[in-house]
């Protein structure tokens, strides 16, 4: 079992729709959760982080965390073609480290 799992996609949504990206993790010691966006040929760009159970909203993005079920999700409202990218979920344990464990990413395609 991989430590962080994501559906590789592609997830195809029409422009203006809500895109829902999911991630599960196996380590119950995980405390911090991050979503990165990576365009083809570029480096990952941090778009959201969440530490507590519940929802966290930032513009069109909402991160959701459920530690009991060990899943974290990212919702993108009013999806735009420019949102088409690979979305990487990353988790970090507690303790004195910034080590991130990444999922393999979900490719999102927003159709105009």
Partner 1 sequence: KAGVTQTPRYLIKTRGQQVTLSCSPISGHRSVSWYQQTPGQGLQFLFEYFSETQRNKGNFPGRFSGRQFSNSRSEMNVSTLELGDSALYLCASSETRTGLLGTEAFFGQGTRLTVV
- Give the interface with partner 1 as residue ranges (CB under 8 A): 31-32, 34, 36, 42-46, 49, 51, 88, 90, 92, 94-105
Q: How far is the CB of 42 from partner 1 (least distance, A)?
A: 8
State the minimum distance, in angstroms, from the CB of residue 98 to partner 1.
Answer: 4
- Residue found under tokens 């979503």: 35
User: Of the candidates 63, 84, 97, 73, which has an alpha carbon nearest to the alpha carbon of residue 17?
Assistant: 84
Count Cα neighbours of 12 within 13 Å in the Cβ-side half-sphere: 2
> Nearest approach, Cβ of 16 to partner 1 (angstroms)?
29
- The separation between CA 86 and the C-alpha centre of its own chain, rounded to angstroms, equals 9
Looking up tokens 């910034």, which residue turns up?
Answer: 98
Task: Name the residue nearer to partner 1 (CB basis): 105 or 108.
Answer: 105
């Amino acid at each position: 079992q991989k430590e962080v799992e994501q559906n590789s996609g592609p997830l195809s949504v029409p422009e203006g729709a809500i895109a829902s990206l999911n991630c599960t993790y196996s380590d119950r010691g995980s405390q911090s959760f991050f979503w990165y966006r990576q365009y083809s040929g570029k480096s990952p760009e941090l778009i959201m982080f969440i530490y507590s159970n519940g929802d966290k909203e930032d513009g069109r993005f909402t991160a959701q965390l459920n530690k009991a079920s060990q899943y974290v999700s990212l919702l993108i409202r009013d999806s735009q073609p420019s949102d088409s990218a690979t979305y990487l979920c990353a988790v970090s344990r507690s303790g004195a480290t910034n080590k991130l464990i990444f999922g393999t990413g979900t490719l999102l395609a927003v159709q105009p």
